[in-house]
Chain A
């Protein structure tokens, strides 16, 4: 049984349909990437999974349980967390408060303490800045904080939306290294949406290609990297 499964999911904003019968599967322990052009519907898929944009039709199943009718907070409770596009740090809250909110639904102080130490070890800069407002951090630091905040919920599945957006190449490489490390060390399954397709495909095990709200291709990441159409359209070769 896959950890996450979308079956024929369609979604619309008002009268404009943005997703057409999306079906995809994510197995436990995988890193899956969704690549596609701007406006292809990548972020909408993540918002459907998180319950922020409820799908019009189709089903979403997490750990075998239907979640497409649940409100966002109950989906988080099941162990599915999202780092949305643009990071969405709480700007007026300190770094530490942002991290505490990541663990909002947890009731195990000892475990929370351990995970706090873990994310501080992952990103020592966050420890140094723990008393500063989140809004004062640089873009890269905010991305680190956003990922750490999601990790504080101890998710089984982490949705990452454009983690590289607006970041310098060096910082992007650092973030992607951390994504692989989280996947390896915690066996956290990751669904990664990314415009930097080559970086994403080098990180992921499998990938889906999205065009105009439809999945047009699904394959092993290595195969997609070698695919000439993909190279022309997304990799700038």
Chain B
């Protein structure tokens, strides 16, 4: 039973990280119908930025929470700048082009960013400092749920809550929903559609950067390819939950994380991906639009 609980929590943690990345995929898809293949790279760049910031800041003997907060801020700001720039140079010029064009542009951007970090840094794994504080109060449960698992779970839950409040109640959030539902009409009520699309990329990138820092600190090492694998998984989670749907991305991520965790724990870590993608295929057979996705009927 204890083993089950342990797997459950590690699955939830994994799912929480997937969710932070999957939200970026699903929000961008919701608003411009594009699978932003470069999104995993944003997550990777977020982790690298956090590493560089933490390395530099550790020279100043800051307390751990301050180090965490400043590295997080650096990662979020820098990754958002990347997200904004990618949209500006790789997707906006292709607005109105056939759907395949921005998709190819996205793949190109992904390859470019991966290789750029590879050249600028190193292809090897680099150790990542433990930025997430350990809580002494959790010591007795350390075998079941680690301190950093709990921090990841709680901070992800908080971020999801803030995101849904943002989307529901703020002016920008409402404009995002309007633009996602009807772009022409959004422009006709006076929404600057390009600005809202850029804002969506920025928000998605910021979330991915948070995920990058959390997982890197949890695992303890990073390299320039982590974005590819995490990106594929998070994308799978978004499709599983119904791409374009925000609650769907979270649900799909948690299901995927739990599946992988149980598959690793009870079968073998070699079969982790087999279970994950079999689950995807199974769900898409019975619900082609994903768990919470709407079956959209194309207007003729």
Question: A-side interface residues toward B, CB under 8 Å?
Answer: 50-52, 71-73, 76-77, 81-82, 84, 88, 90-93, 97, 100-102, 104-105, 149, 153
Contacts and interface: CB of A to CB of B under 8 A. Distances in A.
Given A71-B192, A149-B189, A88 B177 contact: no
Interface stretch (B21-29, B70-78, B178-186): B178-186
B187 A72 contact: yes
B185 A104 contact: no
Given A93-B177, A100-B174, A101-B174, A73 B187 contact: yes
Contacts of A91: 181
Contacts of B193: 73
Contacts of B178: 90, 93, 101
> Which secondary structure characterizes the binding site on chain B?
helix
B188 interface: yes
Interface of B: 171, 174-175, 177-178, 181-182, 184-193
Contacts of A100: 174
Nearest to B179: A90
B188 to A, nearest CB: 5
Give me the 4 closest cross-chain CB pairs, A-B, nearest first. A76-B190, A88-B185, A72-B187, A105-B190
Given A51-B187, A90-B177, A92-B177, 17 more contacts: A52-B184, A71-B187, A71-B192, A72-B187, A73-B190, A73-B193, A76-B189, A77-B190, A84-B185, A90-B185, A93-B178, A93-B181, A97-B174, A100-B174, A101-B178, A101-B189, A153-B189
B96 to A, nearest CB: 12
A72 B190 CA distance: 7
Nearest to A92: B181
B41 to A, nearest CB: 31
Given A71-B192, A72-B187, A104-B191, A90 B181 contact: yes
Select the residue from B175, B185, B187 with max chain A CB neighbours within 10 A.
B185
A166 to B, nearest CB: 14
B176 to A, nearest CB: 11
Contacts of A81: 188-189
Contacts, number: 60
B27 to A, nearest CB: 14
A166 B88 CA distance: 40
A70 B236 CA distance: 41
A104 B175 contact: yes
Contact of A82 (B181, B188, B192): B188
Contacts of B189: 76, 81, 101-102, 104, 149, 153
A82 B187 CA distance: 10
Nearest to A105: B190
A52 B191 CA distance: 13
Contact of A88 (B171, B184, B190, B192): B184
Nearest to B180: A92
Contacts of A102: 189
Nearest to A88: B185
A164 B265 CA distance: 63
B184 A84 contact: yes
A91 B186 CA distance: 12
Contacts of B186: 101
A50 B190 contact: no
20 contacts: A50-B188, A52-B187, A52-B188, A71-B192, A81-B189, A84-B184, A84-B185, A88-B184, A88-B188, A90-B178, A90-B185, A92-B177, A92-B181, A101-B175, A101-B186, A101-B189, A104-B171, A104-B189, A105-B190, A153-B189
Select the residue from B184, B186, B188 with max chain A CB neighbours within 10 A.
B188
A37 B177 CA distance: 35
B182 A76 contact: no
Contacts of B190: 72-73, 76-77, 104-105, 153
A17 to B, nearest CB: 19
Contacts of A73: 187, 190-193
Contacts of B191: 73, 101, 104
A112 to B, nearest CB: 12
B168 to A, nearest CB: 9
A210 B69 CA distance: 64
Contacts of B174: 93, 97, 100-101
Nearest to B185: A88
Contacts of A84: 184-185, 188
Contact of B188 (A72, A92, A97): A72
A104 B176 CA distance: 12
Contacts of B175: 101, 104
A198 B175 CA distance: 38
B30 to A, nearest CB: 11
A82 B188 CA distance: 7
Select the residue from B174, B189, B192, B193 with max chain A CB neighbours within 10 A.
B189
